[in-house]
Structure 1
Amino acid sequence: MAEFDTAHVKNVVLLGHAGAGKTTLAECMLFEAGLISRKGSVAERNTVGDYHELEHERGNSIFSKLMHTRWRGYKINLLDTPGYDDFVGEVVSALRVADTGVMVLNATAGVEVGTDLIWEYTERFRTPMIFAVNKLDHDSADFDRTVQQARDHFGNKVVLVQYPLQVGAGFHEIVDVLHMVLYKFRDSGGRPDKLPIPEGERARAEALHRELVEAVATVDETLMEHYFDRGELEEDELKAGFRKAMIQHELFPLFCLSAERNMGSGRLMGFIDNVCPSANELPPQTTKAGEALECRSDGPPCIFVYKTVSEPHVGELSFFKVFSGTLRPGMELVNESNGVMEKISSLFLMEGNKRLPVTELVAGDIGATLKLKNTHVNNTLHVKGRNYELHPIEFPAPNMTVAIESLRKGEEEKLAQALHLLREEDPTLIVEVSGELKQTLLHCQGDMHLAVARWKIENSARLEVRFTRPRIPYRETIRSSAEAKYRHKKQSGGAGQFAEVHLRIEPWTEGMADPAGLNVRGREEYDLPWGGKLVYYNCIVGGAIDARFLPSVLKGVMEKMQEGPLTGSSVRDVRVCVFDGKMHAVDSNDISFKIAGTMAFRQAFHDAAPQVLEPLYQVDVLCPDDLTGAVMGELQSRRGIVEGMDAESHFQKVSARVPLAELHDFSSALRSVTQGRAKFRMRLDGYQPLSYELQKKLTEAYSRTESATLA
């Protein structure tokens, strides 16, 4: 039998900008609960959460970690997440399985850009939230400013449960306006003394207490009536009202902390187990089919895999949440995505990198298992006879792309396997083998994300690789019409090859009239895989070319469009009219007309004012007011056209259209000019004509390549 039932399991994710102190807070909570005998520190590289050698090397969290602690009859699963936007996939996956979020704010910095971006995901998941103002013992701490910023950004739903009597090096007393008591800590932290609130603070504490109780009462009519009748709410009423308000995203309680000095974590944990909802108190999960899945331990077993980690000499460790039923080793569950039956060989609780075997996990709990061969992130596994499939995690699109290649010949397959493993562990890392660019591309969130990928490839897979700038997927088109004819004739003994094709090419635009002066007998329109269109007209009169050869002409045109005549880039938005030609009764065949179509198109293209188009991206940068000048300067230095500025979540959003060719190192450059205080997102916004100088440079380079190939 499980040690904790569903109602006594709380899943809490620690969130916040890098440097807010999430890992230190997790360590403090484990220490307070007696799970560890000595509190580690990030500086000493001995915390339970940051155990990976790469985290020791960089001094910050990179991966989300699952830990658990026990507190007054409750089990609290802790999910510690990284604070840098490059590792947002770790945050999103942890939020998917959490029941409550603790947003840790740095009292020296207030609400930072990373906090706002994470908040967007908490809104999407409707995660009940707590704010914890940390580092109140630092000399530059400013509690009132941090609270005001939190309310400016997230509304008056942020309500004070606590406030500090002093901040800075002398911080050691917290007034709790919910319990109406003063917590006084020793210099070493730990369990505080509970004292009456000083007379000088009584009026402020009572005013904040009334404000808090009124905020709780407004979420429920019955509570409001009781409050009006008695002027107060009982403890159980406050508890129930707070829980309801948090579930509805109506209230966000705020606490005080110094995780470094172990002050305030015990009260936060008490609030988590007393007030924060368990999974069975939240709205039930909805399957893709629209069916409600109740979180009950006696329900049909159903789990959702939110993360996988590859462990050397062990295999893949799959992290999951039990959304229904009770899971035990030996159970067989169906993977709804592929229909494969998976056997649960073992179950573990996690303590950072330590696995603790257990005999069962109930609905609402989070754990891990080994050796699920055909199961990946976002897969739902359920008991046979059901068809549950839970909604997947939607990971953010990448912001940076590099080309990757092995430095040693013969290791291409090994590199492909390493990249596959990386993708399994991190769904925000996308691997693309581009036939167009003839490169293997790695799409990631930024330069730090890329550095982690490189480290894993070089240290885990033992491969030497090189990252280079990816080639740019230019496009080619034409600006005027042109005609060309090409005769293909080849004799090599026996049957020869003969075909002659006359064609006209024109720029294609939506809604344009049929070609003038030609007898249109057929029209075909194709959406090209690389974007744009090809419109193909049969204008043959008198059977100059047999209808059975026209598809071969089209095939030849298509092949040349795939690798354009000017730079080898794909051609788009062209109309081709085949209007004349010749054939031979014996020597004409499909290959002849394909060659003739290719060469006629090539000749006409060069005469039709060819134009190279470069991909243009919409780039939106979020930054504080004082950094807009630096951001605009960086964008303009990259041939970017700044289109405007708007306020977004109390930050400035600078919007610009920037050529993809200029965005290769934008992530690291932006971090440098803003000291990491800005974030950006980008998306393809279309194509624009390349300047004459750049087009000439590309054309000449392609001509040299072609000449060298032919030689």
Structure 2
Amino acid sequence: MRTTDTLAVVRNLGILAHVDAGKTTVTERILYVTGTTHKRGEVHDGTTVTDFDPQERDRGITIFSAAVTCCWGGHRINLIDTPGHVDFADEVERSLRVLDGAVAVFDAVAGVEPQSESVWRQADRHGVPRIAFINKMDRAGADLDAAVASIRERLHPAPLAVQLPIGAEDAFTGVVDLLGMRALTWGDDGEARDPAPVPDGLREEALRRRRLLEEAVAELHPAALEEFCDTGALRTGTLTAALRDLTARGDAVVVLCGSAYRNRGIEPLLDAVLAYLPSPLDVPPVRGTHDGAEQERTADPSEPLAALAFKVNATATGRLTYLRVYSGTIEQGDTVWDATAGRAERVGRILRVTADRHARLDRAVAGDIVAVVGLKGARAGATLCAPDAPL
């Protein structure tokens, strides 16, 4: 059974964006880079894993929130690819309730767009920490600085870019990692090359931007400020820890960039997910009431069960109820209490889902996002808990 030690290597993550910003392509490249798929799914030819519904493949947009699981750097990432179209805002709202963190995807040409602003405000209401990915850096007119400025003007006062593009528009080949002070580049086939020294022509600019990043973080983070005042600079470890704290508190937004279509920038994006976004252990306990008394549950498999149903789908394998397990353990055959409807339900099969593909599990524990077969009446938004410890 999973322990709290291994909960530290779980990320429950959403991908948020305006329609056509490229978030489904970002998701597909994450699946490819992590080895979950062996072919790059493409929106334009209907081969994506996450847009598996016929309507989605026909229209080229995400309607339903697909649940995807992948692994990177010894971590398990439970990923929700949410709709970007304004007509499906309710689907986004339900998904945000179960996320611990999110990647907000922006178009490098358009910057912040109306629906990206709307979904950002939704994430604010749910207290979801975010990092930003400026996508489509290979497009004509792509401008990282302008996109960051649009975030600052319309969404958040402290977007902090941790990368510098190498090349512009069609010549975009990679990024300078401002924390590691190294060049990360990709070949024409989208495969990552070995990290290299910062190109001579970019070194001065990279050092300038690293300095600006250190100054911005020092202004926002007391421990970083103390080190900056003492030494005149920030160590990379201090900078990383401070960025994680600032992200968790919502006081800053780490900004990365790339081209998902060309498979450039995905590996450092995944590294940033692990470095800056919280695990289930890092988020506050869930709270509820029983007989008028407030109860709380922490992310611990030994606690009584508390789970939220955030989506219900009718599929070829039966009625699937998607759950976020906040505490406790749920096993096949268990009886659970639907506190919303006031009735007992029996758990059938438990599945780990990669869009329309399912792998059977013996159990799900705190921190998991899974689908369950056999819950006949549970609806999206239902709270499921242990019968002897209702919430």
If the length of structure 2 is used for normalisation, what is the TM-score? Answer: 0.94
- Superposed CA deviations along residues 449-508 of structure 1, whole A, max 9, x for unmatched, are xxxxxxxxxxxxxxxxxxxxxxxxxxxxxxxxxxxxxxxxxxxxxxxxxxxxxxxxxxxx
Equivalent positions of 1:547-586 (< 5 A) are none
Match of 2:163 in 1: 162
Match of 1:102 in 2: 103
C-alpha change, 1:14 and 1:140, in structure 2 (3 Å) is same
Match of 2:310 in 1: 306
Match of 1:592 in 2: none
Aligned-partner residue type, residue 309 of structure 2: V
Match of 2:154 in 1: 153
Equivalent positions of 1:628-643 (< 5 A) are none
Alpha-carbon distance between aligned partners in 2 of 1:192 and 1:203, rounded to the nearest angstrom: 23
Contact 2:244 2:275 in 1 (8 A): no
Alpha-carbon distance, 1:205 to partner: 1.6
1:345 and 2:348 equivalent?
A: yes
Equivalent positions of 1:679-698 (< 5 A) are none
Match of 1:7 in 2: 8
Alpha-carbon distance between aligned partners in 1 of 2:387 and 2:236, rounded to the nearest angstrom: 45
Q: 2:298 aligns with which of 294, 315, 326?
A: 294
Alpha-carbon distance, 1:2 to partner: 4.5
Unaligned residue ranges in structure 2 (runs of 5+): none
Aligned-partner residue type, residue 386 of structure 2: V
Alpha-carbon distance between aligned partners in 2 of 1:111 and 1:373, rounded to the nearest angstrom: 41
SS of corresponding position for 1:341 = strand
SS of corresponding position for 1:56 = helix
Q: Which has the larger radius of gyration?
A: 1
Aligned-partner residue type, residue 329 of structure 1: Q
1:336 and 2:339 equivalent?
A: yes
SS of corresponding position for 2:171 = coil
Aligned-partner residue type, residue 311 of structure 1: T
Contact 1:5 1:362 in 2 (8 A): no
Match of 2:124 in 1: 123
Alpha-carbon distance between aligned partners in 1 of 2:286 and 2:241, rounded to the nearest angstrom: 22
Equivalent positions of 1:403-422 (< 5 A) are none
Match of 1:179 in 2: 180
Match of 2:365 in 1: 362
Alpha-carbon distance, 1:213 to partner: 2.9
Alpha-carbon distance between aligned partners in 2 of 1:186 and 1:172, rounded to the nearest angstrom: 7
- C-alpha RMSD of matched pairs (Å): 1.8
Alpha-carbon distance between aligned partners in 2 of 1:285 and 1:216, rounded to the nearest angstrom: 30
- Superposed CA deviations along residues 611-640 of structure 1, whole A, max 9, x for unmatched, are xxxxxxxxxxxxxxxxxxxxxxxxxxxxxx
Alpha-carbon distance, 1:231 to partner: 3.3
Aligned-partner residue type, residue 374 of structure 2: K
Match of 2:25 in 1: 24
Alpha-carbon distance, 1:370 to partner: 0.9
Unaligned residue ranges in structure 1 (runs of 5+): 389-711
Alpha-carbon distance between aligned partners in 2 of 1:327 and 1:192, rounded to the nearest angstrom: 43
Aligned-partner residue type, residue 149 of structure 1: S
Alpha-carbon distance between aligned partners in 2 of 1:135 and 1:281, rounded to the nearest angstrom: 32
Alpha-carbon distance between aligned partners in 2 of 1:48 and 1:188, rounded to the nearest angstrom: 21
Contact 2:218 2:228 in 1 (8 A): yes
Alpha-carbon distance between aligned partners in 2 of 1:230 and 1:183, rounded to the nearest angstrom: 28
Match of 2:90 in 1: 89
Alpha-carbon distance, 1:218 to partner: 4.2
Equivalent positions of 1:120-519 (< 5 A) are 120-288=121-289, 290-312=294-316, 314-388=317-391
C-alpha change, 1:376 and 1:220, in structure 2 (3 Å) is same
Contact 1:32 1:190 in 2 (8 A): no
Alpha-carbon distance between aligned partners in 1 of 2:118 and 2:279, rounded to the nearest angstrom: 25
Alpha-carbon distance, 1:223 to partner: 3.3
Contact 1:6 1:365 in 2 (8 A): no
Alpha-carbon distance, 1:139 to partner: 2.0
Alpha-carbon distance between aligned partners in 1 of 2:332 and 2:229, rounded to the nearest angstrom: 53
Contact 1:35 1:69 in 2 (8 A): yes
Alpha-carbon distance between aligned partners in 2 of 1:188 and 1:261, rounded to the nearest angstrom: 8
Alpha-carbon distance, 1:328 to partner: 2.1
Alpha-carbon distance between aligned partners in 2 of 1:57 and 1:212, rounded to the nearest angstrom: 43
Aligned-partner residue type, residue 26 of structure 1: T
Match of 1:455 in 2: none
Alpha-carbon distance between aligned partners in 1 of 2:301 and 2:221, rounded to the nearest angstrom: 29
Alpha-carbon distance, 1:220 to partner: 4.1
- Superposed CA deviations along residues 190-220 of structure 1, whole A, max 9, x for unmatched, are 2233111123322322232233233334444
Alpha-carbon distance, 1:235 to partner: 4.1
Match of 1:562 in 2: none
Contact 1:219 1:244 in 2 (8 A): no
Identity %: 32
If the length of structure 1 is used for normalisation, what is the TM-score? Answer: 0.53
Alpha-carbon distance between aligned partners in 1 of 2:128 and 2:33, rounded to the nearest angstrom: 25
Equivalent positions of 1:626-705 (< 5 A) are none
Match of 2:77 in 1: 76
Alpha-carbon distance, 1:301 to partner: 1.4
Higher relative contact order (CA 8 A, sep 6+): 2
C-alpha change, 1:238 and 1:369, in structure 2 (3 Å) is same
Contact 1:11 1:99 in 2 (8 A): yes
Contact 2:156 2:252 in 1 (8 A): no
SS of corresponding position for 1:320 = strand
